[in-house]
Structure 1
Amino acid sequence: MKQVVPALTGSPLTQKTPWASLGVFFCACLLLLGALLPARALADCVLGEADEIVALRKVVDGDTLRLKDGRRVRLIGVNTPELRHGTRPAQPLAEEAREFTERFLAGGDLELVYDEDRYDNHGRVLAHVYNHRGDSLEAALLAAGLAFHIAIAPNFALAECLASREELARERQRGLWAPGVWPTLRADQLRPGDGGFVRLTGTVKKTDRNRYLWLELDGPVAVRLDLKRDYGHPSGRNWQGRKIVVKGWLVDRGEKYASRNRRNKRWFIASDSEFTIEISRD
Structure 2
Amino acid sequence: MMKSTKHGLWLLALLPALLHADVYQWTDQQGRHHYADHGNENAKVLNIDPGVAFFRVEKVFDGDTILLSDGQKVRFLGINTPEVAGRNKSAEVGGEQAKAWLKDKLEHRKVFLQGDVEKQDKYQRTLAYVFTEDKEQINVELVKRGLATVNIYPPNLKYLEPLLAAQHIAELAKLGIWADEAYAPLAAELLDENNYQGWKRITGHIRAVKRTAKHSYLQFSDTVSISVEPMSVDLFPPLETYVGKDVEVRGWVKRSKQRFAVQVRHPADIVLR
Asked if TM exceeds 0.5, the reply is yes
Gaps of 5+ in 2: 1-48
Q: Which residue of 2 aligns with 1:223?
A: 226
Alignment partner of 1:268 is 2:269:
no
Q: Which residue of 1 aligns with 2:201?
A: 199
Gaps of 5+ in 1: 1-47, 259-265
Please state whether the residue corresponding to 2:153 is helix, strand or coil.
Answer: coil
| Greater RCO, CA 8 A, separation 6+ | 1
Please state whether the residue corresponding to 1:208 is helix, strand or coil.
Answer: strand
Please state whether the residue corresponding to 2:261 is helix, strand or coil.
Answer: strand
2:56–2:108: 8 Å Cα contact kept in structure 1?
no
1:195–1:250: 8 Å Cα contact kept in structure 2?
yes
1:81–1:147: 8 Å Cα contact kept in structure 2?
yes
Distance change >3 Å, CA 68–CA 201, structure 1 → 2? same
The superposition leaves residues 49-80 of structure 1 with CA deviations (integer Å, 9 ceiling, x where unpaired) of: 77643222211100111223333211111111
CA–CA distance in 2 between the matches of 1:172 and 1:123?
A: 36
CA–CA distance in 2 between the matches of 1:50 and 1:114?
A: 13
Deviation at 1:131, TM superposition (A): 1.7
Question: Quick one: which amino acid aligns to residue 233 of structure 2?
Answer: L
Distance change >3 Å, CA 49–CA 115, structure 1 → 2? farther
CA–CA distance in 1 between the matches of 2:134 and 2:85?
A: 31
- % identical equivalent positions: 25
Please state whether the residue corresponding to 1:142 is helix, strand or coil.
Answer: helix
Distance change >3 Å, CA 53–CA 81, structure 1 → 2? same
CA–CA distance in 1 between the matches of 2:171 and 2:145?
A: 9
The superposition leaves residues 242-279 of structure 1 with CA deviations (integer Å, 9 ceiling, x where unpaired) of: 221111121223x2xx6xxxxxxx22222221221102
CA–CA distance in 1 between the matches of 2:51 and 2:190?
A: 45
1:202–1:243: 8 Å Cα contact kept in structure 2?
yes
Alignment partner of 1:118 is 2:119:
yes
Deviation at 1:103, TM superposition (A): 1.6
Deviation at 1:211, TM superposition (A): 4.8
Q: Report matched runs for 1:179-194 at 5 Å.
A: 180-193=181-194, 194=196
CA–CA distance in 1 between the matches of 2:51 and 2:191?
A: 43
Deviation at 1:87, TM superposition (A): 8.3
2:146–2:177: 8 Å Cα contact kept in structure 1?
yes
Q: Which residue of 2 aligns with 1:34?
A: none
Q: Which residue of 2 aligns with 1:95?
A: 96
The alignment covers a number of residue pairs equal to 220
1:186–1:202: 8 Å Cα contact kept in structure 2?
yes
Deviation at 1:219, TM superposition (A): 6.2
Deviation at 1:143, TM superposition (A): 1.0
1:215–1:223: 8 Å Cα contact kept in structure 2?
yes
Q: Which residue of 2 aligns with 1:277?
A: 270
CA–CA distance in 2 between the matches of 1:177 and 1:99?
A: 18
CA–CA distance in 2 between the matches of 1:119 and 1:107?
A: 23
Question: Structure 1 segments of 4 or more deviating over 3 A?
Answer: 48-52, 85-89
Question: Quick one: which amino acid aligns to residue 270 of structure 2?
Answer: I
Tell me the C-alpha RMSD between the 2 structures. Answer: 2.4
The superposition leaves residues 61-107 of structure 1 with CA deviations (integer Å, 9 ceiling, x where unpaired) of: 00111223333211111111111246865222211100111122145
Distance change >3 Å, CA 50–CA 181, structure 1 → 2? farther
Deviation at 1:132, TM superposition (A): 2.2
Q: Which residue of 1 aligns with 2:241?
A: 238
Distance change >3 Å, CA 270–CA 93, structure 1 → 2? same
CA–CA distance in 2 between the matches of 1:94 and 1:165?
A: 19
Deviation at 1:230, TM superposition (A): 3.0
Distance change >3 Å, CA 271–CA 80, structure 1 → 2? same
